Structure 1
Amino acid sequence: MNGVSLLSFLLITAAVALISWYKTRKENLQTAAGLFFANRNLGFLVVGGALFFTNVSAVQFIGENELVYTNNMSVMAWGLSSIFAMLLVSEFIMPVYLRAGISTTPDFLEERYDTGTKHFVSVIFLVSYIVNMLPSVLYSGAVIFNGLFRVSETLHIGYWATTWMLVWLIGLIGCLYTVLGGLKAVAISDTVLGIGMFAGGILLPYAALKYLGHGSVSAGLELLLASQREHFNAIGGPGDAVPFSTMFTGMLLVNLYYWGTEQYIVQQALASRSLAESQKGIAVACVGKLISPLLLNIPGLIAVHLYPRLENTAQVFPRIVSDVCPPILTGYMAAIAFGAALTTFNAGLNSSSTLFVLNLYKPFKAWQQKPVGERELIRVGRRFELLVCLLAMLIAPFIAFARQGLYTYIQMVSGFFSVPIFTILVVGLLHRRMPAIAAKTGLTFFILTYTVSQLLVDTGVHFLHILAVLFVLTVLLMLGIGALYPRKEPFVQQWNNVVDLQPWKRRHLYAVLLLLAMVALFVVFSPLVLAE
């Protein structure tokens, strides 16, 4: 373990924490609005930074670079195609949420369907966070930290024991950060780290190319382009980890769910001071997605030439950072990766607490006819965060036994929870007489059939295509139930907005520019240009 690298890491991490504390020191965290929604007063830069860096976690650093190394650039489709989904959410879904003045996405489902649907979806969200999202963030953070600082070698302990130790270290720090700082602290640190990631996205590929070229960046670039050009291909075929066709089926649905329904993402946008600020923030996050391949994918390309036979492919990113970067830059990259794990974990914890307190605990107390004050909600919310954190830390190390690559495993498991919720949301928006029983039946049908397709029956079909097929079948099922048992009165959304709903006037122009840039990147990383 290099002392300079460790010192650099500690200084940068402490600086981010200090900036977050300074910016949030006057925030009132003794109310639910303050703790969970930063008093709905975030500007577009903070919203954009929070959206982007909450999405970019240590999972992407590890998983995407691993897939580029073992496969090709087709994994880039996850990030780039999400730009289209984000713009759709910005234009059509976010105005609905802000107009309703909701606190959680299940709140809208309660308004659209009934309270039972809200509780059902809230439980699905919480299970998803506890068994998949939060543990995977902790595990990937532990992998990066161990790879960069060689903790296992330095302390002379096994990989398994090191993973447990680092998972608990990251989890406890993240829990403390969230409990003390609330959403505003998470959003501020996301913004600072997002700026740092852009700088790292330039520095790391530069250092890696220089290392590959034995001191010359141009020589390194020539070596990179001289052979194994198939790894440059972002147009994945049927046999690739991410077939290109999935962009138009299950991947689109997953991205629409993620950016339009996932609580820990949507909560960042709901904290904006207006609809225009929210839409600008989403555009800023889209710019981040365009730049992110520099850190999430390009190192994996360079690693193909540096390490022809790497046994543990999950070590691609930490290995290349520790090998090509000077100690100060190694510490800097470790701080960015550690921050990525921490902020995504923090956002997930905050949203878990929000869902439990506002959607389950408070209604339960109301059913018992027991009044509940703000202080009690805050106290229960913080205790629940501790419980969720403990469960996630207990589960995280076992992800090491996942048979697929980390990133594919996470996306596959998220399918159990993501597209079913998005399905009932879309049908509810488009069909005003759809009854609540259709939503509950649709959720149950989707989850059970997807479980069978992934765990019991080998269909031989990519899981993203399976999600698209089940989406269509579930919609048809709900339409059938809606025809037999329609609502007596059509749904009419109630206006309860708490922020300005004037949309961003230039959003369409920037949307076109962002989509053109997205297409251009796919063209560059295709057989037409780099992958010829």
Structure 2
Amino acid sequence: MYFGQGVSNDDAYGKLVADVLPAQLTGFFAAVMVGAILSSFNAALNSTSALFSLGLYKHVINPAASDEKTVKTAKLFVTVIAIAAMFGAPLLSKTSSIFSYLQTMNGIYAIPIFAVVVMGMLNKRVPSAAAFYSMVIGLVVMIGLLIAYPALNGGANTTELTGISNFHTMGIVFGSLMLIMFIGAKVAPRENPWEITTNTPIDMTPWKGTKVASIILVIAVVAIYAAFSK
């Protein structure tokens, strides 16, 4: 709608709202947006606090810490993270597209984690070492391609290095990590297949239509990708 009118990608949505909604509803819509943003921000802070306090501080930094000490440390940590996020947010205005930038940054950790999860679902004999090294390699490669290379080359896009878009680069890294874990499973497989253990009264019997629904979803995603890739 605004192509060729000098409207940036990140201003298009706000302009669309201003042009389409009646003036009486713009304030209401702004309140809705602020509420959505704050809820997402709070959710991210809560997750960050839990990961640091329970996953790192309690188990690695200070295992003997009391619950009260752990909670205080978590509050301090999340306060620092919130302040850093507030100061860092304006820097996003320098990116050509905030959406693409955030998706790229999410890919740094999401691709290695996703690769490990998928391989864990497909092969129960993958050794834990293969998953661990795949995570490390994936993080190093993604940071090198998406952060280090642009920083060392004046913000150049990795397309200039790889010849393909960042999103296709993520796909190649994903496939490579899957291959590493597959080779690990062939070279040094687990003695016993891994089985998930749950401590819950909830019935964990898989839904009988899981496989059919999964195949349909995969076909739909591939079809959508093929349609829009042109």
TM-score range, shorter chain: 0.7 to 0.9
Tell me the CA shift for residue 328 of structure 1: 2.6
Tell me the CA shift for residue 444 of structure 1: 2.3
- Percent identity between matched residues is 27
Q: Does 1:481 align with 2:177?
A: no
Tell me the CA shift for residue 507 of structure 1: 8.0
* Residue 494 of structure 1: aligned partner: 197
Tell me the CA shift for residue 333 of structure 1: 0.9
Q: Does 1:382 align with 2:75?
A: yes
Write out aligned runs for 1:331-342 (5 A): 331-342=27-38
Distance 1:488 1:366, change over 3 A: farther
* Residue 23 of structure 1: aligned partner: none
Distance 1:357 1:316, change over 3 A: same
Instruction: Give a deviation string over 1:266-322, Cα, whole Å, max 9, x none.
Output: xxxxxxxxxxxxxxxxxxxxxxxxxxxxxxxxxxxxx43xx7513434212222323
* Residue 471 of structure 1: aligned partner: 174
One-letter identity of the residue aligned with 1:397: P
One-letter identity of the residue aligned with 1:345: F
Distance 1:489 1:397, change over 3 A: same
Distance 1:434 1:464, change over 3 A: same
Tell me the CA shift for residue 433 of structure 1: 2.8
Is the contact between residue 365 and residue 371 of structure 1 (CA under 8 Å) also seen in structure 2?
no
Tell me the CA shift for residue 452 of structure 1: 4.4
Is the contact between residue 365 and residue 372 of structure 1 (CA under 8 Å) also seen in structure 2?
no
Q: Does 1:343 align with 2:39?
A: yes
Moved more, 422-431 or 456-465: 456-465
Tell me the CA shift for residue 353 of structure 1: 0.7
Tell me the CA shift for residue 473 of structure 1: 1.5
Q: Supply the RMSD in Å over aligned alpha carbons.
A: 3.2
**Of 397, 404, 408, which residue of structure 1 is paired with 2:100?**
408
Distance 1:437 1:505, change over 3 A: closer
**Of 122, 137, 152, which residue of structure 2 is paired with 1:445?**
137
Task: State how far apart, in whole Å, the 1-side matches of 2:77 and 2:62 are.
Answer: 19
Distance 1:433 1:446, change over 3 A: same
Tell me the CA shift for residue 366 of structure 1: 6.2
Task: State how far apart, in whole Å, the 1-side matches of 2:205 and 2:128 are.
Answer: 31
Task: State how far apart, in whole Å, the 2-side matches of 1:400 and 1:506 are.
Answer: 48
* Residue 426 of structure 1: aligned partner: 118
Structure 1 spans left out of the alignment, 5+ residues:
1-302, 528-532
Instruction: Give a deviation string over 1:218-237, Cα, whole Å, max 9, x none.
Output: xxxxxxxxxxxxxxxxxxxx
Tell me the CA shift for residue 432 of structure 1: 2.6
Instruction: Give a deviation string over 1:445-471, Cα, whole Å, max 9, x none.
Output: 223333444436522212222222222
Moved more, 446-455 or 415-424: 446-455
One-letter identity of the residue aligned with 1:395: G
Task: State how far apart, in whole Å, the 2-side matches of 1:315 and 1:471 are.
Answer: 33
Distance 1:469 1:365, change over 3 A: closer
Is the contact between residue 420 and residue 447 of structure 1 (CA under 8 Å) also seen in structure 2?
yes
Tell me the CA shift for residue 361 of structure 1: 1.3
Report the 3-state secondary structure (helix = DSSP H, G, I; strand = E; otherwise coil) of the residue aligned with 2:92.
Answer: helix
How many aligned positions are there?
A: 208
One-letter identity of the residue aligned with 2:142: Y
Instruction: Give a deviation string over 1:407-460, Cα, whole Å, max 9, x none.
Output: 112112222111111111222333333222212221222233334444365222
* Residue 59 of structure 2: aligned partner: 363
TM-score, normalised with respect to structure 1: 0.35
TM-score, normalised with respect to structure 2: 0.75
One-letter identity of the residue aligned with 1:343: S
Distance 1:379 1:328, change over 3 A: farther
**Of 16, 21, 38, which residue of structure 2 is paired with 1:320?**
16
Tell me the CA shift for residue 474 of structure 1: 1.3
Task: State how far apart, in whole Å, the 2-side matches of 1:315 and 1:328 are.
Answer: 21
Report the 3-state secondary structure (helix = DSSP H, G, I; strand = E; otherwise coil) of the residue aligned with 2:162.
Answer: coil
Is the contact between residue 453 and residue 459 of structure 1 (CA under 8 Å) also seen in structure 2?
no
One-letter identity of the residue aligned with 1:387: V
* Residue 396 of structure 1: aligned partner: 89
Task: State how far apart, in whole Å, the 2-side matches of 1:450 and 1:371 are.
Answer: 35
One-letter identity of the residue aligned with 1:421: I
Q: Does 1:460 align with 2:163?
A: yes
Task: State how far apart, in whole Å, the 1-side matches of 2:29 and 2:205 are.
Answer: 37
